[in-house]
Structure 1
């Protein structure tokens, strides 16, 4: 009996859960399905359904199935696809939103018979040109749902998170397999990278999550943690090749928490699933597709069609099972045909291992499977040709590359590729050539096209490699962006310098642009450069620090400006992650910066013959330890920076704080500013540490909060409020702090910083200024750490006039820091090359025809 006839038998058990709405029980679902099935009518019809992940669409799908109709699932929001289906298949009913309301519209009866076994039509994923649909029978759907429920061990207690579209066979299989056993489905309103995704899943009590490899990449980048989902039992992945490293990462995380990961392989032509790797075998078979699902059989066929029974020999992967489709359909006439194939030739080249598991090693035809979409290279070429683009397309399971010779702009060709393939800008690239490479036969040389793509990517490698070095040991792919990688303000300055050198400019908003797209941007000429004001401020601030320490001039304030920039960078680069509770990203950034500080602590400890514990534990600035047993006070900034970050991380680990800040980051910032200014004023009354009070976190925290408020002051009134608070606070601080020249210089500098960040966040400067300022800004942290080593250890031994001594101290301080910065870059570059073995990113060559 079809599982749709069993819905009512599960009674009041929960069937469907939608965010913010009352759950739908099986009894209620059965009533609604029966009512809509009656609305469809008794005569068997073809129903075209716009299959959004919505209550209406899911009920309509179940009603069409339960009523014995044939239902075609069309991608939501794609009016062209729906119109094309209507033209080719002439559906009897159309169920879709019209004018914001869900409607069922009856069309004039087409009259052609529908095969009695036919149940569902699914578009072949990623197909372009004329629509082609997979014909699935009731047996196909029912058997596949049962097989999936069997090997996953689904029970009525399970609750799936439906994050995939259910017009996609994988998403549909999640829905069918759970309803078949009386389990429930949580239909998520958020994607895996959206804020609150994990909170929604935890509140819904999901026991399993299914996603494509790209879903897991996003989860890994956004700090998804299985520990936050106490009811989670397992996760599944299908829809493309899962990178072995990523699979291993999630397997270890899940196993450590007592959960399971299932790698699966399938095709729409087999309803959904063909093979899976049992979770207990994952560790030994991370690059395998496993074994056939229950009721199915996998085999290999040679080029002559003969069966390959041994291990280690490659052949086309062939599948037999009750879930193999009836066949394809191009128009309404095809829907009267019965089952036409007994076995599915997958088009994948595979080999059998000695343990009986199968591994896919390539494709027989020019196809790519990216983000769950199977893309025909020929189809994309045809789509480009229809728009006047003479191109040859190649690619692998990460991206498509088109070499074209018809003179269009690469970005325009990329847009056409996106439209034709359904992919995103992260997955396509276009390379302009004088002429397409061809074989002697006159056919396009696909291997040569792939080589063109690799050469193009090598030309872009400077930026890609710079990102790889900056974020070592994390792996950086062309689809990553600075924001996704969790970069901080120091890395932002370093990579801005790289972009300025490679492109002759710093693109606005580059931190949100994928690395691959950045690498393809053209260079810019001219004598002017647009740079972020905070980078110029950083360079000026570090120069003031060096001058202040090398002279007796009253020019303090550089370190205070750096503290303000800490808060500004915190809001800019970590604010969104903190509001999601992802404090680990912030802590990783802190750890990376402290790793540069650690050799200083070790060196001073060795020189003094004791472990300088206050500096080891980053509390030397608190004024409660003998200076003989810690680093010099000039390193207070590093300790205050770490303390600020740890306090912020602790605060944002509290859900109540996260919710309050996320609701209004500016207002909460202003409130925090009032509190921290009060702490600065009142702290000396209860914690009197004397002159070193100016180094304590209580004395400088408000500066970081000022930086937060400046960043979140998006409206004119908000900017005016922050400026007004600065105008009130800083003169008071100058007067209260001693009313001497140095005090006024220090605090007026902070007022100027606030005004510039508020009203001139990007400025145009001569390229010579940028060429001088950006390297200093990029190496600013290293300059701060190392600028006094040479003057204290070597120059102090020389008897030089003070002008010469001051000049040498400043010059050697800056140069020492820059040298340390480049030494670290060289070390990380060497480590990155050693880890990757020098392997270059590039598309795999498709076989030539």
Structure 2
């Protein structure tokens, strides 16, 4: 393919020169280069002229592309991080203290300016900071210059023959150096990007490829297994020109097979070799040589060169690369950003040989690293991770064979393998873990790693159990994903998901935790933050216990709910409603304050809806059936406009006050500067809100609510408990509760109840419950709101049968209403789906 010589000198940020050519093509439309340049200019203005360190949480979306181009164009050094790993984002923010953090959500770019200027000394050549292909061995970042990026983009575009008519589908993450090189090389030539985050196993991906006439896509070794699964070899893709492969070694037999498939189907396979330290690419195998020489990495890319340095004691030498795309060096702390070039050639660590025809072949590794699914894994670091888990191990592996691990002694191999998969970010199938009595060793006493590799053999497939022999069994670790899916009504649960990322709230938390306790035994205090895959790797208790332990907040919710009903039927007087406000604040801070600001606000809105909708619906029924309530009750406004004296219209004061509190804190956190402040100083922020709300507690400020006493400060006390992450802070919150609660209600027993309850959730992670009542306790806690709502209509009808019957009878009615409200939305969605299937709608076809 011929390329305009003018384009060969273009850079990937020189966008406007390509005019109205299509730059970005999605399922929803097309953006021209001129339009893309205008959007980039807008973000350049937002970032300002002073060079600052910018962190971008990257997704495969248009906003990420614009933010990346804006930062590089304006000369701001950019730290690129995958947005789908929030723990990594927060870790790098803490370690490197960026001046600006960029996130994308819902089609918009969020710019979090953490300071007006910069606190860093930034070298003039520094342009990009990326992790070392996901290396697990070190937190080091690779320092790349603008020249690195431009030269590598030109080189790749040159040997691939990229022209303005080419269009690449974005099959790899933006934050991965290989995926980024695809973007840079195509923008440098005025080509198009078919921008998507769909997987190659998704039929919609291939519809988009055909619709937008994609001419290429990039793949890592694992991608070819997926392509084989979806029947890619037989797909009709008339515009496909080539596929590139990098991110690890593809087995020679697979290289040959796919190269031959491409020859039959009319596309080329480019096998490539590279590293983040070389801004992605160092070598490529010309497609016409792939079938004949599938075990080689090919020749150096244009502008680059190889040499092989001898290594003492080894038959092959180390491959050393030189070229304008070699990094400036590494960064291990913010002080390294001031450094210039420290590296002039790249020692790859690979042992190689050069064939007579000029092709290079990698025959081994000098250090103990392997590259799996595009991620570089330090085998020694894997052994250290296992050592921290109490396991003595020997770890071997290969790029195309995954990790093979021998663990000495008795251990739960399944659990260890799942923990490693989560920690390393690898597919679970890439880890083969074997427990052995003794690690294999050589006569010298050193680990025999070839023997470790030989431990892996094809596993026997268990015979299928006839349907007639199936028996219902108790839920165990393997059922964890299904438990999450059922309790949260989420069919898309993945191993990397957590309760929080799946938008769980305090109501679903209870039901889910009870089932998890039954399947796994006692849960850690932070289980709601742990990945599903990690929870599924926990061991189930070996024997059934008479007493189980449930989280303190769950037990207190259940007990408080029963006490509320008992107090209203005058069985005994023990007021616990105000304790529930403390627990509500505690759960709000735990479940609602994660993710981006837009994600938080969506979560707040959903949480409010789950309270408001069932409350309004039930109160409307009560309004129709009785004369006890007013229209103000239906709209939850009695606290604002209701009578001063306590009447039946005040029955639902608890729901109204809870809604008022949640609306208030949602409105506050909708302010970007307050949201940033809460993220930066979570505990101090909670104490600040507590101080403000204490103004109403001590009647310094009248919030204008006639009855009952405002409870905002109790909610904030619970919030502060959730943010108290060390002993000193927990002591401070405990003291504040002991000082502020007494005297607030002129009811010493109520006040003691609040303080004791707060101390329990602060200091006691779990409380004992008879195992036979564990699930019942969970139901009562999960249905607490619904029991509170319904008992006002139920207990008067049961009072003729006695107070105990009245209390006991209210509970199943509330639980039933809770179950109905959980079932109804799903039933509606299924009904609509069936209706659409019965009445298919012909989609409207429109031009691009």
TM-score range, shorter chain: 0.5 to 0.7
1:675 CA displacement: 1.7
Q: What CA distance in whole angstroms lies between the structure 2 residues aligned with 1:4 and 1:25?
A: 19
Q: What do the CA deviations read for 1:640-683 (whole angstroms, capped 9, x no partner)?
A: 22222122111111011112222222222222212212124438
Name the residue aligned to 1:807: 804
Q: Contact 1:539–1:774 at 8 Å: present in 2 too?
A: yes
Alignment partner of 1:709 out of 687, 696, 720: 720
Alignment partner of 1:748 out of 744, 748, 752: 752
Q: Contact 2:720–2:733 at 8 Å: present in 1 too?
A: yes
Q: What CA distance in whole angstroms lies between the structure 1 residues aligned with 2:769 and 2:462?
A: 42
In structure 2, relative to structure 1, the CA distance for the partners of 1:140 and 1:756 (3 Å cut) is closer
Q: Contact 2:601–2:670 at 8 Å: present in 1 too?
A: yes
In structure 2, relative to structure 1, the CA distance for the partners of 1:507 and 1:422 (3 Å cut) is closer
Secondary structure at the aligned position of 1:484 is classed as coil
In structure 2, relative to structure 1, the CA distance for the partners of 1:245 and 1:586 (3 Å cut) is farther
Equivalences for residues 786-801 of structure 1 within 5 A:
786-792=790-796, 794-796=797-799, 798=800, 800=801
- Does residue 652 of structure 1 match 2:669? yes
- Does residue 568 of structure 1 match 2:586? yes
In structure 2, relative to structure 1, the CA distance for the partners of 1:61 and 1:145 (3 Å cut) is farther
1:337 CA displacement: 3.6
Alignment partner of 1:241 out of 156, 176, 200: 200
Q: What CA distance in whole angstroms lies between the structure 2 residues aligned with 1:650 and 1:61?
A: 38
In structure 2, relative to structure 1, the CA distance for the partners of 1:145 and 1:6 (3 Å cut) is same
- Does residue 539 of structure 1 match 2:566? no
Q: What do the CA deviations read for 1:356-399 (whole angstroms, capped 9, x no partner)?
A: xxxxxxxxxxxxx9976799xxxx9xxxxxx89999x999xxx9
- Does residue 410 of structure 1 match 2:413? yes
1:818 CA displacement: 3.0
Q: What CA distance in whole angstroms lies between the structure 1 residues aligned with 2:764 and 2:259?
A: 72
Q: What do the CA deviations read for 1:549-578 (whole angstroms, capped 9, x no partner)?
A: 11074422x211111111111111112347
Name the residue aligned to 2:53: 20
1:267 CA displacement: 2.9
Alignment partner of 1:718 out of 729, 738, 760: 729
Secondary structure at the aligned position of 1:787 is classed as helix
Name the residue aligned to 1:780: 784
Name the residue aligned to 1:465: 482
In structure 2, relative to structure 1, the CA distance for the partners of 1:388 and 1:458 (3 Å cut) is farther
Q: Give the alignment's TM-score, normalised by structure 1.
A: 0.55
Q: Contact 1:572–1:711 at 8 Å: present in 2 too?
A: yes
Q: What CA distance in whole angstroms lies between the structure 2 residues aligned with 1:333 and 1:813?
A: 80
- Does residue 614 of structure 1 match 2:623? no
Q: Give the alignment's TM-score, normalised by structure 2.
A: 0.55
1:587 CA displacement: 1.1
Name the residue aligned to 2:97: none
Q: What CA distance in whole angstroms lies between the structure 2 residues aligned with 1:732 and 1:763?
A: 28
Q: What do the CA deviations read for 1:611-664 (whole angstroms, capped 9, x no partner)?
A: 964334322333436999x98432222222222212211111101111222222
Name the residue aligned to 1:125: none
1:816 CA displacement: 2.1
Q: What do the CA deviations read for 1:262-287 (whole angstroms, capped 9, x no partner)?
A: 89733369999xx9xxxxxxxxx9x9
Q: What CA distance in whole angstroms lies between the structure 2 residues aligned with 1:291 and 1:374?
A: 35
Secondary structure at the aligned position of 1:648 is classed as helix
Secondary structure at the aligned position of 1:752 is classed as helix
Instruction: Single out whichever of 581-590 and 644-653 deviates more from structure 2.
Output: 581-590
In structure 2, relative to structure 1, the CA distance for the partners of 1:672 and 1:460 (3 Å cut) is closer
Secondary structure at the aligned position of 2:267 is classed as strand
Q: What CA distance in whole angstroms lies between the structure 1 residues aligned with 2:748 and 2:530?
A: 41
1:809 CA displacement: 0.9
Name the residue aligned to 2:604: 586
1:810 CA displacement: 0.9
1:497 CA displacement: 0.9
Name the residue aligned to 1:165: 176
Name the residue aligned to 2:453: none
In structure 2, relative to structure 1, the CA distance for the partners of 1:715 and 1:148 (3 Å cut) is farther
Name the residue aligned to 1:66: none
Name the residue aligned to 1:761: 765
Q: State the superposition RMSD in angstroms.
A: 6.4
Q: Contact 1:620–1:631 at 8 Å: present in 2 too?
A: no
1:707 CA displacement: 0.7
- Does residue 266 of structure 1 match 2:218? yes
Q: What do the CA deviations read for 1:146-200 (whole angstroms, capped 9, x no partner)?
A: 348853799xxxxxx994231xx3222223334556x9xxxxxxxxxxxxxxxxx
1:10 CA displacement: 6.6
Alignment partner of 1:146 out of 158, 162, 170: 162
Q: What CA distance in whole angstroms lies between the structure 1 residues aligned with 2:261 and 2:631?
A: 67
1:429 CA displacement: 7.8
Q: What CA distance in whole angstroms lies between the structure 1 residues aligned with 2:74 and 2:755?
A: 64
1:458 CA displacement: 9.5
Name the residue aligned to 1:597: 615
- Does residue 320 of structure 1 match 2:268? yes
Secondary structure at the aligned position of 1:529 is classed as strand
Name the residue aligned to 2:342: none
Secondary structure at the aligned position of 2:513 is classed as helix
Q: What CA distance in whole angstroms lies between the structure 2 residues aligned with 1:680 and 1:540?
A: 26
1:591 CA displacement: 1.6
1:714 CA displacement: 2.6
Q: What do the CA deviations read for 1:757-797 (whole angstroms, capped 9, x no partner)?
A: 223233456646756643432332332222333322x325x
Alignment partner of 1:669 out of 686, 690, 694: 686
Secondary structure at the aligned position of 2:788 is classed as helix
In structure 2, relative to structure 1, the CA distance for the partners of 1:371 and 1:679 (3 Å cut) is farther
1:807 CA displacement: 0.8
Q: What CA distance in whole angstroms lies between the structure 1 residues aligned with 2:633 and 2:76?
A: 65
Q: Contact 1:145–1:177 at 8 Å: present in 2 too?
A: no
Q: What CA distance in whole angstroms lies between the structure 2 residues aligned with 1:498 and 1:553?
A: 32
Q: Contact 1:483–1:573 at 8 Å: present in 2 too?
A: yes
Secondary structure at the aligned position of 2:732 is classed as helix
In structure 2, relative to structure 1, the CA distance for the partners of 1:612 and 1:180 (3 Å cut) is farther
Q: Which has the higher helix share?
A: 1
1:423 CA displacement: 3.9
Unaligned runs of 5+ in 2: 17-36, 55-69, 78-119, 245-253, 272-283, 291-295, 298-349, 361-370, 383-392, 437-455, 835-848
Q: What do the CA deviations read for 1:516-556 (whole angstroms, capped 9, x no partner)?
A: 43234322134443432212211221121111111074422
Higher relative contact order (CA 8 A, sep 6+): 1
Q: What CA distance in whole angstroms lies between the structure 2 residues aligned with 1:506 and 1:780?
A: 22
Alignment partner of 2:185 out of 176, 179, 183: 176
Secondary structure at the aligned position of 1:535 is classed as helix
In structure 2, relative to structure 1, the CA distance for the partners of 1:570 and 1:374 (3 Å cut) is same
Q: Contact 2:241–2:266 at 8 Å: present in 1 too?
A: no
Name the residue aligned to 2:742: 731
Alignment partner of 2:654 out of 626, 634, 637: 637
Q: What do the CA deviations read for 1:29-81 (whole angstroms, capped 9, x no partner)?
A: 9xxxxxxxxxxxxxxxxxxxxxxxx999997999xxxxxxxxxx97475779x
Secondary structure at the aligned position of 1:541 is classed as helix
In structure 2, relative to structure 1, the CA distance for the partners of 1:499 and 1:102 (3 Å cut) is closer
Secondary structure at the aligned position of 1:332 is classed as strand
- Does residue 693 of structure 1 match 2:708? yes
Q: What CA distance in whole angstroms lies between the structure 2 residues aligned with 1:305 and 1:719?
A: 61
Equivalences for residues 438-477 of structure 1 within 5 A:
448=461, 462-472=479-489, 475-477=492-494
- Does residue 529 of structure 1 match 2:548? yes
